[in-house]
Amino acid sequence: MAFTAATHPARSARIFYGWWMVVVSSLAMAAGPILITSTFGIFIKPLADTFGWSRSEISFGFSLVACMASFCAPVVGSLVDRFGPRKVMLCGAVVFGSGFVSFWFLSASLWHFYALYLLTALGGVCLTSIPFAATISRWFVRQRGIALGVMGTGVFVGGIYAPPLVTYVMTQADWRWAYVTLGVLVWVIVLPVIGFFFVESPQQLGLAPDGRVETGEARPRVTFQAQPSRDYTLNEARATLAFWCMAASFALLSGTLHGCITHLAPLLTDKGLTPQQAAAALMLLSAMGVLGRLTAGYLVDRFPAHLVAFAHFMAVTIGLCAALGAANHGLALLFAAMVGLGFGAESDLMPYLIGRHFGLAAFGTIFGWLYGAFAFGAVLGPLLMGWIFDTTGSYQLAVIVLLPATVLGAALMLPLGKRPSTPSTNPLP
């Protein structure tokens, strides 16, 4: 049965339908690119044993995935603005799932391996936070921060269930079946969830953001968290200091966080911790990622967003200082906790700050470019830490280098304190 705007149950539901969009988005993100990030390392040994490839050769595939995300994110953002998030996500889910399934046919050619991961990443970038955040930002204004935070928890849910699932399938069958399982998982979760339940904007149901039914009358509301006086185009956004502060900050923090996440287990075991203790630290990191999403989302709806960002990013420096003494189990857990908190917060703050400073008309395009900066940092951070370790035989210098980079990334949030407009009484959008 097809619902019209007049008959859709959302109009009479007690729970604002936008919160259902948050749930739908979170479910879909749990079967998004996190499936690559959280499982890539699990496939390294089986692939090395099967084809004789070195670990560095296999790991280069992950760098290619990050490069693909960096270059394709601006394109995806433009497609979201032009065709709508739903079409982009459905097409991406088909390609993403097909990429995983295609590993069933993987040959002994290393270039075949790279090509399949590039294909998978091409679909996966369509399921990053770009289209989801564009949608949730249309559904919410006053509670946008917490809505984006809850939406993003799906990423960490995927990071929790995917590794044990892949490990189980490998144990019962082999790595080829594990790849196929991931592909089928994308199809059976993302396609029906987005295809049947996803609504791109409240206006499609005759609603307004935050749950008010459109009546044709513009009722005043007080805007405490200032919105931009107008919507910016990409060129206009790129002419602002805020855009470049965000780009540099997101890239620096992403480099630090992805470098630490990628090398956390070997860094801790090199310090003398057991593999079980390192695994516990990784689990804590994921849990703190959820907390970072929720705390950042809650606080930006109530306090200046640039100060919330600065505080969360400076917390990462506490973790880096703890990493220098991570031979102590308590300091190792503090290191993992602060990295997880910062990672969750950055992922939530990106779309919030973009919507707050530049509006929603070109949100996808602007977010795509800034997500590209974030992805570029994800390429450089792990490579830098790996290169320093190969050169010095230790991660100590890498952590020392990341400390001032992280402080600079946090400080670049402070110029964003200049609000795009002063608090005023505005009509409903």
Report how far residue 300's alpha carbon sits from residue 141's, in angstroms, rounded to the nearest whole number.
12
Helices 329-358 + 363-392 axis angle, to 10: 150
Judge contact between 139 and 12, C-beta under 8 A. no
Residue 194 structure tokens: 């987005």
pLDDT value for 392: 85
Q: Which amino acid does the sequence have at 119?
A: L
Q: Are 109 and 187 in contact (CB under 8 A)?
A: no
Pick the residue with more confidence: 160 or 197? 197
Q: pLDDT band at residue 412, thresholds of 50, 70 and 90?
A: very high
Hey, how many other C-beta atoms are within 10 angstroms of the C-beta on 311?
Answer: 16
Can you tell me the distance from the alpha carbon of 67 to that of 44, in angstroms, rounded to the nearest whole number? 19
Ranges in the chain annotated CATH 1.20.1250.20: 14-211, 225-418
Q: Which of 35-39, 246-250, 251-255, 367-371 has the lowest mean pLDDT?
A: 35-39
pLDDT per residue over 355-406, tens digit each? Answer: 888 888 888 888 889 988 888 888 888 888 888 887 888 888 988 999 999 9
For domain 225-418, say whether CATH 1.20.1250.20 is its number: yes
HEC-encoded secondary structure of the chain = CCCCCCCCHHHCCCCCHHHHHHHHHHHHHCCCCHHHHHHHHHHHHHHHHHHCCCHHHHHHHHHHHHHHHHHHHHHHHHHHHHHCHHHHHHHHHHHHHHHHHHHHHCCCCHHHHHHHHHHHHHHHHHHCHHHHHHHHHHHCCCCHHHHHHHHHHHHHHHHHHHHHHHHHHHHHCCHHHHHHHHHHHHHHHHHHHHHHHCCCCHHHHCECHHHCECCCCCCEEECCCCCCCCCCCHHHHHCCHHHHHHHHHHHHHHHHHHHHHHHHHHHHHHCCCCHHHHHHHHHHHHHHHHHHHHHHHHHHCCCCHHHHHHHHHHHHHHHHHHHCCCCCHHHHHHHHHHHHHHHHHHHHHHHHHHHHHHCCCCHHHHHHHHHHHHHHHHHHHHHHHHHHHHHHCCCHHHHHHHHHHHHHHHHCCHHHHCCCCCCCEEECC
- Distances in whole angstroms, Cα of residue 210 to Cα of each of 139, 140, 141: 6, 5, 6
CB-based contact 242:415 (threshold 8 Å): yes
In whole angstroms, give the CA distance from residue 32 to residue 101: 15
In CATH terms, the fold of domain 14-211 is Growth Hormone; Chain: A; (1.20.1250)
This prediction has a pTM of 0.77
CA distance 173 to 171: 6
> What does pLDDT average to over the chain?
83
* Rounded CA separation 207/227 (Å): 20
CA distance 10 to 347: 29
Q: How many C-beta atoms lie closer than 10 Å to residue 14's C-beta?
A: 4
User: Mean of the pLDDT values across residues 407-429?
Assistant: 65
Question: Which residues neighbour 63 within 8 Å (Cβ) at sequence distance 6 or greater?
Answer: 379, 382, 383
Instruction: Tell me the per-residue pLDDT of 79-121, one tens digit each, with 9 for 90 and over.
Output: 988 898 899 999 999 999 999 999 999 998 989 999 999 999 9
Residue 425: pLDDT over 70: no
